[in-house]
A and B are shown apart, each in its own frame.
Chain A
Amino acid sequence: MEVGMLPISASKRGKLLSTGYTTLLSISRASLADLARDLQVSEDEASEIMKCASKTSTLDLSTGTHTTTVVNGGQTAWAMLNEEKFSLHITTSCVDLDNILCGGINCKEVTEIGGVPGIGKTQIGIQLAVNVQIPPEYGGLGGKAIYIDTEGSFMVERVLQIAEACIEDMSEYSNHFRKDFQASEVKMHPNNILENIFYFRVCSYTEQIALVNYLDKFITEHKDVKIIIIDSVTFHFRQDFDDMALRTRLLSAMALKLMKLASKFCLAVVLLNQVTTKHIDGSFQLTLALGDSWSHSCTNRIILFWNGNDRHAFIDKSPSLKSASAQYSVTPKGIRNSTSCKRIKMM
């Protein structure tokens, strides 16, 4: 029944049904006074119900041209193509990794990165928080970062190291490619980079959910945030959760909110995940934590793993990227190309 879908309270819905208003059409045809009298509610409440009903019924008539959409809020695929062509990417500082990601981490999407302890998830998170701040003159976004730390693995000393290395790389780049400007100094200082990373320390799953709810307001106040990193999204949901069904519901609600944030503010959301073992086909295999239902929640999924002595990243799931793996390494300067390949690539 259509009335069952209205976002109004259960008692109001019950009243509508019991007095015979079972379809949205019947509500829109009734007059305000009739509705108020039948339901025995005030005229204000009745007008609210009518507003709800008319918003939900999508009976927009097209104006006759082919470019308008029939359903409110929709967008044609052609319009989206233009948007996607110009969508922004955040570099990971490793050329091979950027290549398999077609430029870097996509804005407007939720990317999940998971791996065993010690593989470099936090390193990638910190590298992205620094790289989002690269100014547009050097090919970056010039934005700010939000780093949500649930495990306490954010070490400021490391952020400083990576920030200093990033500025060094930028001055090297400007020395090579912009010789026409006389010794153009990169005007950024590592402290500027640290200043643009907003850090939140979350101590329970309640705080995590509350923070994701609050981010909408926070980002409206800080419009230049371009990346949200949650390190790690798993930690608090793995401890003392007896009701697994509740956990799944909360996680999917949280993932939906993050997706909305990503598309509303055109920013990238990166979720770092842990691993667990699962018994498949008679043997134990590694898989990302939080279960099968969670694996549907993210747009892209990258798994970091050891292959011999090298770190690799594999695109496990993506609607637009090809399934491929790339090698990367963690150096004192941050994430960089793997040193075992003999090619030298300029930034």
Chain B
Amino acid sequence: MFSIPRHITRSQLLAILLTGAMVLIVFRLFYLQIIQHEYYVALATDEQVKRLEIPANRGMIYAMDGDNPVPLVMNQQVYTLFADPTVVDEPKKVDEAVRSVAGGNLVVEDVLSKITDKSSQYKVLAKNVTLRQAELIKEKKLKGIGFQRVSQRVYPEGEMAAQTLGFVNYEGKGQYGVEQELNDRLTGKDGLLKSVTDVANVPLSIGKDNIREEPVDGDSVVLTIDRNIQAKAQETLLAGLQRSGATHGSVLVMDPNNGDVLALADFPTYNPSDFTTVTDEKVFRNVATTEPYEPGSVLKTFTIAAGLDRNAIEPDSTFYNTDSIQVNDRTITNALKGVTGTVTMQTALDNSLNTGMVTIAQRLGDGKEITRGARDTMYDYFHNRLGLGERTGVQIANEQPGILISPDDVQGNAVRYSNMAFGQGLDVTMMQVAAGFSAIVNGGTYYSPTVVAGHMDGSQLVREQHAKEKKGVISAEASAQAKEMIHQARTGYTSTDLPGYYVGGKTGTSQTLQDGEYISTQTVGTYLGFGGDDSQSKYVIMVQVSGENMNLEGNKHAMPIFTDLSNWLLGYYQLQPRA
């Protein structure tokens, strides 16, 4: 048994015990504060310091209205209104308040039954509720009602330029169009707030390691799209499709003097704010950049330009037309027959004679055959100079390069190039064709097309130079001659243009391929033209119409759309007719 030595007094014993206890406490404190220091600091930091993300605003997207930017895509903070039925104590009042303030935003028909059903604690009652509506409901101080804030894209112009814009999915990522292509630029960089907070997550400045990094909002991009031209393009396209019965159509309007895309209209279309209701993914695609096709006879303007620039032909050069021409083992015939005998190249263009274009291809070689040299020359003009068969670099997602077979390829033979001379045997996009055609009619400078005019700095537009230019892809003289030939080709065809202006164009009706064979039951109608005054072309328009199992023609179904839009554009640009 433990016994206390006699010489130790009780007070000494107490002192020893206390000292012992103190030593234990000191050791324990040493362990907690020195040995376990890092662990407890981390634990405390986790508890007290919050990392709050400050979301950056996604950049807006503007279009032009003349010289002024106008918003096409904006951001809006909206709220999702939800109820917790287990907390709601006055269901009738809640029903009345929600219906009166946010009746148009309800996502449920019977609010009362939803908020009395206590099987779930989270019932969404309304979506896209505005701040004002949320405030009005909050003022009623209803129990069991909550709001969840979300940022969403809004489109004041509705469906306008939907396939050019694209949309933003629920993860905040741009899909299709400019939204996808310029996603990084539009997204910005989220900020960070690392701070000691109280229980209500209010940041306090008492911490020594507080961090506040301000968010960097995404760039607000200004498109070259002119909303007036875009709206008119959509309107004329829709009217044209209703006249023809075609189910699909696209219109591209470009400024030939700088490569600015002024309008890109597609039908069928959709409203980007309701992208979830779209059932066919094809509706999202921008046809002019993502769907290469055989454009048909509109490409005869390219062959004419190459022939003129190489001095292989003049507008009044002649050839003997028999409505067919032999290329190796193939016989190429004209769609329009009867314009036979000695005819000029102008007549060949006016009547869209395939034989004339094959003749030009031959004259680019030895005059008799489409030699390797002739094919190299055609490839040089079509691909290297005028940009067919490669991506243009326009800032729209999923742009396709198309297919233009090189003479180096085994398929790049004389038959292939004879077909290419009148727009078959190659797959190109409307964007490529319009950009190349712009170079033909603007004096010979190729501008890579662009849909981005610049960005906003506050309320000011800062212009950006995106378009690459290649000067002298054809000579100014060849350009003037080609332009006049295209003008003659149109004026000989139609008298629907406003008098006193300089308008030209070429039709195209192309067969479609099914399982590698051309079918006769489905054709695509195309029209490609320019317009302006005598001094300068102000616009290039390309129209395409199509429909399943429909024979649509360039002159009957696409050209009227061009004419309507062209006549309107002459007025829009306030061009004066020659006296």
Q: Do A and B come from one complex?
A: no
Which chain A residues have a beta carbon within 8 Å of chain B's beta carbons?
none
Which chain B residues have a beta carbon within 8 Å of chain A's beta carbons?
none
